Structure 1
Amino acid sequence: MRKLLLFFLLVANICVQAQQRYELNTGWLCNNIKEVKVNGQQLSSTNFSLNNWMPATVPGTVLTTLLNNKKVPDPFYGMNNEKIEDVYKTGNDHYTYWFVKDFSEKAVANEQVWLQFRGINYKAEFYLNGKKLNPKTHEGMHIRAEYNITKFLSPTGKNRLAVVVYPPDFPGNPNGGQGGDGTIAKGLTTQYTAGWDWIQPIRDRNTGIWDKVTIEKTKAINVKNPHVVTLVPGKRLPTGAQKPATLKVSVEVENPTNKVVTGVVQYQIAGKTISKSISLPASKTTTVNFADLSIENPKLWWPSGYGAQNLYDLKIQFLSANQVFDQESLKVGLRQIDNIWNEHTKSMGAYVNGQKIFIKGGNWIISDAMLRFSDARYDAEIRYHKDMNLNLIRIWGGAILERPEFYNACDKYGLLVFQDFWFSGDCNGRWVDPMKKENQWTRRNYPDNHPLVLDAIEDQVKMIRNHASLAFWCGGNEITPPEDILNPIKNDILPRLDGTRLFFDFSNSDEMSFNDLGGNGDGPYGIQDPKSFWSTKTFPYNSEVGSVGVGDYESLERFIPAKNMVAPQFKEKPDSVWDYHKYIAYEQYINPYGKAKDVKDFAMKAQLVNYDQYRALMEGFSNKMWDWYTGSIIWKTQNPWTALRGQMYDYYLDPNACLYGLRKGSESLHVMMNPVDSMVTVVNNGFTGLNNLMVQAKAYDMDGKEHFITQAFNSIGPSSVRRFFPINDFLKKLDQKEGLFVSLRILDQKQHILSENIYWLTDKNGEYSGLQKLKSAPLKVTATQKQAGKVEVMLSNKEGNPVAFFNRVALIDQQTRKRILPAFYDDNYISILPGENKTIVVEYTGAPENLAVEVYGWNVERMKVQVQ
């Protein structure tokens, strides 16, 4: 036993020594190209002085570095962005910078050292210790670069890396059009940075070493680009014993040396090892295909709301002469994604592990418009999407193919990913557009360098293809790539490098959602009458629908100066800062609550509209599940900038009522009222039917008096919608001169609440006159720290009170009264019926110990309660 233990310890030590990877993410310096009078060979000599050079943020953009060094104001605040020079006007030299990094590393016998760049925008030259690494200029934002630097390392171990980074060749005129004048799309870069209808131009167009820089050390073999395909045949359930799943694994193996290398390539998963002996010639790379592996009784991966997100650790190694030469580790989710055309809806249906999934999605732009990415931010944003009860995120084509850390979070939380490539109808010529510099035919062939695009797609597919969450590929946003790019993607690249995921030619193509309604095939955008979501049929798998999302007062304070904190008025031009941050007017929906007295009042009423809008959106689509629709994807669920539209949480990760209205409407088991005919309806997204459910309806007047309507026992089948009973006649009998609250609940046999929903109805004139006169409801609130990172908040409303309506709970620092961000609430903007209480669970990370909870509502005075 002792010998066996020593053996395993030795193997573990070998693994640690063989696989060394670290980031070069601190200690960088930079200088503008106009200030540097030497070439890259001289600059990358450790003897060259870097006095007075500026600390650089890497990974990061030039603009991020300038901001961190207080050379520019925060472009996300007020109209500060107007104070920053735009690259289109200054010329590219203004944002062309040298980046220099000193690091320690020695060449060791039988060891290879690799320098890896995961993303540079837009062109770059690399120098190390006086030598140029790249014989050809690196070009393209969406492509990795790797160099074997073993022979370039200094014998002393003291090395200097120098990189000059140039902005996009065509930064585009930011003339107010979608993507400005469109010419930014001539290069392989982010189109949104020239401006869009939800963002102002990013002045440096994201120039910089924007993604990770890594040193990797291997022996004589470099293992890279593993490919894992999982097959889960048949129709499965999340629980119970499972029939086997099959794994197909391959990996690229590179021999950079001048000698033949012989050894064993193997991978390990779930306690099993599959291996293959190979002999690799000098200076060659080959792909090793392993025999298929059957995994008995697998733990499957499911989308959020349908089952657990089980992930397996998989490790691939090359072994020779009792040593691990190199290895790669990844996490694998065992699942199979299929697509079957739904002839009834005329749209594509998504299936996971044989079960049909009703798609409830959100459109994603990018985490941060200045590319300040982090694992923690990605995790928080994807968790918010899970909290919305969504099961898909679509990555919009005018930004990037997301980073592996994004997909890690989606794997963890169960969000399927619909991935566009880098094309958009606005820039790439779908429409005649007077804001564009060049005609449609010319724009139709953007980007200019088609071979570069194909190389980048190959590279990026390899980077992310193993993620369980990645579900669909898409040619572009509202347009296909040019034919000589589209055809290789469809007929060569994806079949060869993936072969498991459906490819849509473009985001609203007929192969996704047959469009017999006219128009563009997505939308409508902007706020709508909630009844329209229930009564008006739109595209059966809608890739973009919806738009509003002003945050609450605390959110607005973060980026709107005090002098501009004024309530906008419908049909009047809004304040300049509100306009600059892309405000969409929706006071016509706010005014029925009473014309806003000030911006605090406006923000509170906006939350009521937000909640009602997104609850109705998802309820309306769910009501016609498998009849009109196979899914919908909201435009959009987040902002990478401080915009005032299309967001469930703000740039600072503070959620607004959009999130919780959407969360309510997207529940897996959900009771709802059709606003057109007042029919109480239940939707069940689960794979199993439910029996002996009690569905209950009550009404409450503005004094809090309960009016029992009806309740009934019934059942509902799997993945289905059932209309239970109408309550319109009951509502007509009640006095609606001031409006009503309607409370719906589903109860199980133990009278546990499985779903509940509270609607607030207008008076006969379409006004919320009763809400405007609603009496105060003093709440009793307690907050208790249950464990690290978790607080329970109980809110109690006394019998005899009116409904305590629409209460926001916020975890705050007791001293500063600032909100703890991000924080995750299992419900919010909640209403408490007379004589009842509710408990809200709040989870957070990295907050101070001195916590308090702030609570305020429509008729509940703002209060602060210390966490006990």
Structure 2
Amino acid sequence: MTNHRSLVLFLLALPSLLFAQSDYELNTGWKCQAIGKVHATGERLSQAGYSTRDWLDATVPGTVMTTLINNHLEPDPFYGLNNDKTPDIYTTGRDHYTYWFIKNFKETSGGQTWLDLRGVNYGCDIWLNGHKLNEQTHYGMYLRQSYNITKYLAPKSGDNRLAILVYPPDPVGNPNGGQGGDGEIARNVTHQYVAGWDWIQPIRDRNTGIWDKVTIHHTGVVRIRNPHIVTEVSGARLPDVLAKDQAPAVLRVSAELENTSTDTVTGTLQYMVDGEPTFALVKLAPGATKEIRLPYHIIMHPRLWWPNGYGTPELYHTTLSFADSDTIPLDFGVRELTTTWNPTTHSRELQINGQKIFIKGGNYIVSDELLRLSPERYDAEIRFHRDMNLNLIRVWGGALTERPEFYAACDRYGLLVFQDFWNSGDCNGRWEDPMKKEDQWTRKRYPDDHNLFIASAADQVKLLRNHPSLAFWCGGNEITPPEDIFHALKDSIIPTLDDTRTFFDYSNSDSMSFNNLGGNGDGPYGVQDIKTFWAKRTFPFNSEVGSVGMGDYESLQRFIPKEHLVAPVYHQKEDEVFNYHKYIGYDSSVYAYGPIKDLRDFAEKAQLVNYDQYRALMEGFSSHMWDWYTGVIIWKTQNPWTALRGQMYDYYLDPNACLYGLHSGSEPLHIMYDPVAGMTMIVNNTFRTHRDIMMQVQVLDMSGKSLMHSQQFFEVGPTVAKNYLPIGHLLDQLRSTEGVFLSLRLLDIHQQIVSDNFYWLPDSTGNYSGLRHMPPSALTIEASRAPQQPAAQNTPGAAATRITVTLKNPAGGPVAFFNRVSLIDPGTKQRLLPVFYSDNYVSVLPGESKTITLDYTPKPGVTPQVSVRGWNLAEKTYPIK
């Protein structure tokens, strides 16, 4: 047997062996076949002699449905009524979507080799080279698996075969049209939306598959697991203080070490920050797993992490290593989260680095209903949320604990995360529901395996807890889990594994938001009179409130067959494809802009409603921050499918006017008009007082003539919403005949615009009669390419190209109203996606210009052009200089 000293020397000499082959992901070259077509055992299938010549090319990570679609065996479920052409697992039986997956891989590492699976839905058995790795079938969508496969590898040839049999959830649930179908999908520890919801059709295989990463990890005899990073930032800090002037912060790091050998091992666990090492000498008994807490590290000049709109989300990147046996990334942000109970609003209030944060959030389901997840798509979606000027994303409880790549994007862009666990009031028994198979008492005990839920929750907390963006854990969507699970989460898992974050009992519970002040709960949902958002009080930390969200005609063409591209008619039944894609009606709101000609016209007018709705939503809630509200979370900001509701951008990552209405209404320093009180207001969601701020108020008619102009200097304090000028009575007079435009601006002492808000107000009947006969604008466009933009640190994808587009409106004419800028492929005339616009749906006053920037990743062989169209501007295409 190797003695202690010689083993230590072995560890020190290990790099030439251990890192001769780096870690890698098994994400190509997979084959799969339905269980009914396979008659061999796992032992036989996992040996090289078994032929897979007639098997399908499999998508891993992915689901069975993704593989079938990629092999053209099932149609695209996002288009038209195609989803109904695929057989549902409830009808076919589970074997129809039970599949074998096989992967051949080369492995010659001389150290310890680990097979890690980050997510399989729902059960699996695993064989390698004729050996079964798991003694019992693995169950649970969220529970990670890790196997030391060193002794099963082919030592001479290095040719290895992995065979995994994946089973669907059981039961699969009846997709009967209810929320989560008949609710039985919730008997599993899995996501619930797959049985259908009011914003999505059922996923036919219930997302059965190896849906998350499969990786090979190399170590010496000791492996590092589950690092835990905690940062402590004392006192009240400010984001505009240079790091050299910041008071110190404390960093606490711990990790589990697993000794796979039969010998005692001694070594050093260490990491380095800003050139300063922190380490601990560790002694591990044979076969032991031990949590090691390193000494506190004092960061003398910390670069602090702040949420979007309040400061820069600074990040640190280092590594944690044990001797030369294992090294893992150690990424973190220096910040401290605390919450207090606001006695005025009667709701939870969040502080970061000692400063209170008004929550402006969006509800998020999942990036793709078929779990086609990627760092690039995550980056785009989170960047869109950053561009909306939001600072939080709630991950809804009927979906996932989101992936580390999602959280990494939130870390980069400063988006806080409110993470639900896997329950919903719909499936888990909050309400009596005739669509459900079992009664409320039975459903309240879902899932069937409570221990599996608890183990999965603890594992996911360990997976995600180091991300600075993670702010809240939540027991579930609109309901707590069963009592034993709830207490395990609240009293054990979170306090023990992640004691720096607040746990909410459920998403609209009294622990988060106490509705005792005459409010009407969460919501409203759907199109509203914009005064509602200002005047009707709701939950003081509203977890769900929203409106409409249909895309424009270009968006609709991507998934609606030509014969169904027909405008909805108020008070009439929708087209079957619109209905299938969960269209939520605009009621009479679009008719205020004039008669509807066709679907293109309807969709263009819908964008005006979209912009107005979401600007008013965020302005109305912000106007009452700290007296009515401590936060608001929009239901919802995106769709994982081609649904026709609740989205700021469509599934194809094409933004609509909702995004830019939010972009305006959520900006950190914002001027706005209160339509109830008739006052101009300033909302300051920053931590500093803005002095010598000039407020400009201008009213224009449809011809562009200025009817009223006023400007005054003001001062606005930090984190406040404040009334300034009463203009409502004058506006009512000026707009009575045909409506007017209202331009509100804030200028700094250098005469630079720091907030620019442009309203179109209806006439006294509520119609926009003046817009119907506006003269055309003479807008001119100049587009030019800016220098190449480097990719941000740890951002996936290539370096971005930036284009500047300047819109000039000559004096003497009308406002150039509501102009949409697009980047297009001149060959196909289709929009390039995704593209990130600094602003869009912009209006330009007579004699003025506006410049917006476009960031995109170039596509080979495409020289893009810029397209611009507006309410009073015919669409034109322009070359880029």
For normalisation by structure 1, the TM-score amounts to 0.97
Residue 299 (1) aligns with residue 299 (2): no
* Post-superposition CA distance 1:369-404 (Å, at most 9, x none): 000001000000000000000000000000010000
* Post-superposition CA distance 1:628-653 (Å, at most 9, x none): 11110000000000000000000000
Which residue identity is paired with 1:264? Answer: T
Q: Give the structure 2 partner of residue 4 of structure 1.
A: none
Taking the aligned partners of 2:262 and 2:484, their CA distance within structure 1 comes to: 38
How do residues 434-453 of structure 1 correspond to structure 2 at under 5 angstroms?
Answer: 434-453=434-453
Q: Give the structure 2 partner of residue 563 of structure 1.
A: 563
Residue 343 (1) aligns with residue 343 (2): yes
Taking the aligned partners of 1:696 and 1:16, their CA distance within structure 2 comes to: 66
Q: Give the structure 2 partner of residue 66 of structure 1.
A: 68
Taking the aligned partners of 1:519 and 1:717, their CA distance within structure 2 comes to: 28
Taking the aligned partners of 1:735 and 1:616, their CA distance within structure 2 comes to: 19
How do residues 70-109 of structure 1 correspond to structure 2 at under 5 angstroms?
Answer: 70-106=72-108, 108=110
Give the superposition deviation at 1:287.
Answer: 0.4
SS in 2 for 1:862: strand
Change (3 A) 1:659 1:749: same
SS in 2 for 1:316: strand
Contact 1:815 1:850 in 2 (8 A): no
Q: Give the structure 2 partner of residue 257 of structure 1.
A: 261
Gapped regions of structure 1 (runs ≥ 5):
1-9
Contact 1:18 1:219 in 2 (8 A): no
Q: Give the structure 2 partner of residue 600 of structure 1.
A: 600
Contact 1:20 1:218 in 2 (8 A): no
Contact 1:198 1:643 in 2 (8 A): yes
Taking the aligned partners of 2:520 and 2:534, their CA distance within structure 1 comes to: 21
Give the superposition deviation at 1:49.
Answer: 1.0
Residue 174 (1) aligns with residue 175 (2): yes
Contact 1:270 1:313 in 2 (8 A): no
Cα RMSD (Å) of the superposition? Answer: 1.4
Q: Give the structure 2 partner of residue 461 of structure 1.
A: 461
Q: Give the structure 1 partner of residue 792 of structure 2.
A: none
Taking the aligned partners of 2:21 and 2:276, their CA distance within structure 1 comes to: 21
Contact 2:18 2:220 in 1 (8 A): no
Q: Identical aligned pairs, as a percentage?
A: 58
Q: Give the structure 2 partner of residue 377 of structure 1.
A: 377
Contact 1:18 1:218 in 2 (8 A): no
Match of 2:872 among 840, 859, 865: 859
Give the superposition deviation at 1:818.
Answer: 1.2
Residue 278 (1) aligns with residue 282 (2): yes
Give the superposition deviation at 1:12.
Answer: 12
Q: Give the structure 2 partner of residue 804 of structure 1.
A: 816
How do residues 419-434 of structure 1 correspond to structure 2 at under 5 angstroms?
Answer: 419-434=419-434
Give the superposition deviation at 1:714.
Answer: 1.1
Which residue identity is paired with 2:870? Answer: G
Q: Give the structure 2 partner of residue 5 of structure 1.
A: none
SS in 1 for 2:457: helix
Contact 2:18 2:219 in 1 (8 A): no
Contact 2:835 2:856 in 1 (8 A): yes
Taking the aligned partners of 2:217 and 2:211, their CA distance within structure 1 comes to: 19
Match of 1:317 among 318, 321, 324: 321
Q: Give the structure 1 partner of residue 236 of structure 2.
A: 235
Change (3 A) 1:859 1:16: farther
* Post-superposition CA distance 1:711-748 (Å, at most 9, x none): 21110101111211011232244363111001111112
SS in 2 for 1:787: coil
Q: Give the structure 1 partner of residue 222 of structure 2.
A: 221
Give the superposition deviation at 1:580.
Answer: 0.2
SS in 2 for 1:287: strand
Taking the aligned partners of 2:752 and 2:359, their CA distance within structure 1 comes to: 28
Taking the aligned partners of 1:306 and 1:118, their CA distance within structure 2 comes to: 34
SS in 1 for 2:23: strand
Change (3 A) 1:735 1:555: closer
* Post-superposition CA distance 1:824-866 (Å, at most 9, x none): 0010000111111110100011335511001001111100001
Residue 361 (1) aligns with residue 373 (2): no
Contact 1:224 1:251 in 2 (8 A): yes
Change (3 A) 1:11 1:263: closer
Q: Give the structure 2 partner of residue 7 of structure 1.
A: none
Give the superposition deviation at 1:536.
Answer: 1.1
Taking the aligned partners of 2:14 and 2:711, their CA distance within structure 1 comes to: 63
Q: Give the structure 2 partner of residue 3 of structure 1.
A: none
Give the superposition deviation at 1:339.
Answer: 0.2
Which residue identity is paired with 1:534? Answer: W
Which residue identity is paired with 1:299? Answer: R
Contact 1:509 1:521 in 2 (8 A): no
Q: Give the structure 1 partner of residue 8 of structure 2.
A: none
Give the superposition deviation at 1:14.
Answer: 5.7
How do residues 554-633 of structure 1 correspond to structure 2 at under 5 angstroms?
Answer: 554-633=554-633
Taking the aligned partners of 1:853 and 1:151, their CA distance within structure 2 comes to: 59
Give the superposition deviation at 1:18.
Answer: 7.2
Give the superposition deviation at 1:678.
Answer: 2.0
Contact 2:700 2:741 in 1 (8 A): yes
Q: Give the structure 1 partner of residue 4 of structure 2.
A: none
Taking the aligned partners of 1:471 and 1:21, their CA distance within structure 2 comes to: 31
Which residue identity is paired with 1:401? Answer: T
* Post-superposition CA distance 1:485-532 (Å, at most 9, x none): 010111111111111000000000111110126788421211111011
Contact 1:778 1:861 in 2 (8 A): no
Taking the aligned partners of 2:733 and 2:584, their CA distance within structure 1 comes to: 38
* Post-superposition CA distance 1:99-140 (Å, at most 9, x none): 0000011352xx110000000000000000011000010001
Q: Give the structure 1 partner of residue 5 of structure 2.
A: none
Which residue identity is paired with 2:820? Answer: R
Taking the aligned partners of 2:281 and 2:649, their CA distance within structure 1 comes to: 52
Taking the aligned partners of 1:542 and 1:107, their CA distance within structure 2 comes to: 53
Give the superposition deviation at 1:701.
Answer: 0.5
Give the superposition deviation at 1:29.
Answer: 0.2
Change (3 A) 1:429 1:857: same
SS in 2 for 1:712: strand
Give the superposition deviation at 1:264.
Answer: 1.3
Q: Give the structure 1 partner of residue 507 of structure 2.
A: 507
Change (3 A) 1:654 1:85: same
How do residues 204-219 of structure 1 correspond to structure 2 at under 5 angstroms?
Answer: 204-219=205-220
Please say which of residues 816-825 and 842-851 is displaced more in the overlay. Answer: 842-851
How do residues 108-147 of structure 1 correspond to structure 2 at under 5 angstroms?
Answer: 108=110, 111-147=111-147
Taking the aligned partners of 2:787 and 2:14, their CA distance within structure 1 comes to: 35
Give the superposition deviation at 1:773.
Answer: 1.0
Q: Give the structure 1 partner of residue 718 of structure 2.
A: 718
* Post-superposition CA distance 1:311-355 (Å, at most 9, x none): 111311111xxxx11011121100000001100111110100000
Q: Give the structure 2 partner of residue 497 of structure 1.
A: 497
Give the superposition deviation at 1:538.
Answer: 1.0
Taking the aligned partners of 2:467 and 2:663, their CA distance within structure 1 comes to: 25
Q: Give the structure 1 partner of residue 708 of structure 2.
A: 708
Contact 1:418 1:473 in 2 (8 A): yes
Which residue identity is paired with 2:194? Answer: T
Taking the aligned partners of 2:174 and 2:154, their CA distance within structure 1 comes to: 45
Which residue identity is paired with 2:766? Answer: G
How do residues 379-394 of structure 1 correspond to structure 2 at under 5 angstroms?
Answer: 379-394=379-394
Taking the aligned partners of 1:520 and 1:706, their CA distance within structure 2 comes to: 41
Which residue identity is paired with 1:68? Answer: N
SS in 1 for 2:859: coil
* Post-superposition CA distance 1:583-635 (Å, at most 9, x none): 01113111110131100000000000000000000000111111111110000
* Post-superposition CA distance 1:633-691 (Å, at most 9, x none): 00000000000000000000000000000110001000000111320111111101011
Which residue identity is paired with 2:809? Answer: N
* Post-superposition CA distance 1:402-432 (Å, at most 9, x none): 0000000000000000000000000000000
Taking the aligned partners of 1:15 and 1:836, their CA distance within structure 2 comes to: 66
Contact 1:235 1:353 in 2 (8 A): yes
Contact 2:547 2:613 in 1 (8 A): no
For normalisation by structure 2, the TM-score amounts to 0.95
Which residue identity is paired with 1:163? Answer: I
Give the superposition deviation at 1:291.
Answer: 1.1
Contact 2:76 2:83 in 1 (8 A): yes
Change (3 A) 1:50 1:732: closer
